[in-house]
Structure 1
C-alpha cells in the first residue's frame, strides 16, 4: 500500500509511516540502493527484515530523499547529507522515520504481553507512576519506545534504558510526556509523543530547545 500516515508535529519536523503489506519484489521496484545497502539487504536472513528495510527506503523517497542521502556514523546512528536530523524504526508490519531540524528519535513497537516479563530490564523511576487502571501493556510499551527514541538521539552510545534514561509521568490518554538522558555533559529534556496504530505504539522524541 502507499504511505500509511504522515504526521507534522511542528513546522520543521515530519514523520512518515508505512504499513508493510507488499511483497519483497513489489517493494524492490523503483528503489535505488547504495552498494553498502545492497550488501546489507542480501545479508538479511529474514524476508520480514528485508521488507522492513525496503519500506524505509520508500519512506525516504516520500520525504524527498534517496538511499544515497543516508549515511551512518560509527555507532550506527543515521544521518542525512543535508544536515537534517533523522531517526528510523520498523517492527513487523510497520516502519517509520522522522526528519527534523532538531535532534529526534522514533520507535514503533507491537503491543505484546511479553513486555510484562522484561519490564525489570528497563523500568526504574517510572515504577512510581504506572497506573494499574490504565492499559498496562501500552504504558510499558510507551516507556520502552520513549527510552528507545532517546537512546537513538544520544550520539555516543552506551546508555542503559533502566539507569540512564527517565520518562516522566503520563497516562495513555495524554498522548505526550517528557523525558531526559541522565549522563554527565548531556543535560537536555525532550518532548515525547505517542499514539496507537492498529495494535502498535508509535513514540517519538523531540529536542525541547527549539520551540514553535
Structure 2
C-alpha cells in the first residue's frame, strides 16, 4: 500500500497517513532494524500493536525517501526521536491507519483516532466544564474527538510525562468543521506555551496535528 494521504504544512513540515493493508511480514521486509529493534518486534504479539509499530516505521522511511537504516529511539518520556537525522518526529496510529509527522524546524505532535460513540462516556476525564460548554450537540462526537486529538497532539509535541489533559492543556472555544484550527495553551508550573492546533476529519477518523516551538 502506498501513502494514503500526505499534507505539506510548510517547507519543512508535513504529515502523512498509511493505510495498513499489508501482513506484518510484508512490512517487516521493508525495514532495516538493529538487534534491539528486532528483539522488540519479536516480543510484540501478532496483532494491531505489531502492525502499528511496523507501519509507522515504514511510513517514516517513505517520508524521508531513504532505504538506509534509520536510528529511531524513544526518550525517557516515551517521545520518539531520530539520532542522526535533523528531523523532529511524532507517531500515531488507530485501527487501520498509521500517521507520522516530521519537521526540520519545529517540535511536532500528531494524533489520529477512529471516531466512536464511546468518547462521550469519558469526555469529563479530559475536558473541563468550560470546555464541555462549547461542544455543539449537532456534532458532539466529532467535536469531542477534535478536543481529544488536539490535547494528545500537544502532549506529544511537548514531549514530557505528567501532563494532565484536563488540568494542564486548555482549549479555546471553537466551532466544529470537518477541517479547521483551534487555539490552545499548555500551562504547568513555570511552563506556559501557546499552540494553534489544526484538525481534519478523514473518512471515519479524526486527526489533530500541531507545530511547537523551534
Q: TM-score, normalised by structure 1?
A: 0.91
Q: 1:145, 1:202 within 8 Å by CA — same for their partners in 2?
A: yes
Structure 2 CA distance for aligned equivalents of residues 84 and 29 of structure 1: 24
Helix, strand or coil at the partner of 1:4: strand
Q: Give the CA deviation at 1:172.
A: 2.2
Shift of 1:44: 1.7
1:166 aligns with 2:170: yes
Tell me whether 1:71 sits opposite 2:73 in the alignment: yes
Q: Secondary structure at the match of 2:78?
A: coil
SS at the partner of 2:137? coil
CA contact (8 A) 1:34 1:68 kept: no
Partner residue, 2:202: 197
Provide the rounded CA distance (Å) in 2 between the counterparts of 1:97 and 1:30. Answer: 16
Residue 96 of structure 1 is aligned with which of 95, 99, 104?
A: 99
Match of 1:118 in 2: 122
Q: Distance in 1 between matches of 2:71 and 2:183?
A: 31
What secondary structure sits across from 2:53 in the alignment? helix
Query: Do the aligned partners of residues 168 and 34 (structure 1) sit closer, same or farther apart at CA in structure 2, a change above 3 Å counting?
Result: farther
Q: List 4+ stretches of structure 1 deviating above 4 A.
A: none
Cα RMSD after superposing both structures: 1.7
Contact 2:17 2:98 in 1 (8 A): yes
**CA deviation profile, 1:52-100 (whole Å, cap 9, x unmatched):** 1111111111121566331111111111223421110011101111111
Distance (whole Å) between structure 2 residues aligned to residue 149 and residue 108 of structure 1: 9
Shift of 1:49: 1.2
Q: From the superposition, tell whether residues 67 and 112 of structure 1 become closer, same or farther in structure 2 (CA, over 3 Å).
A: farther
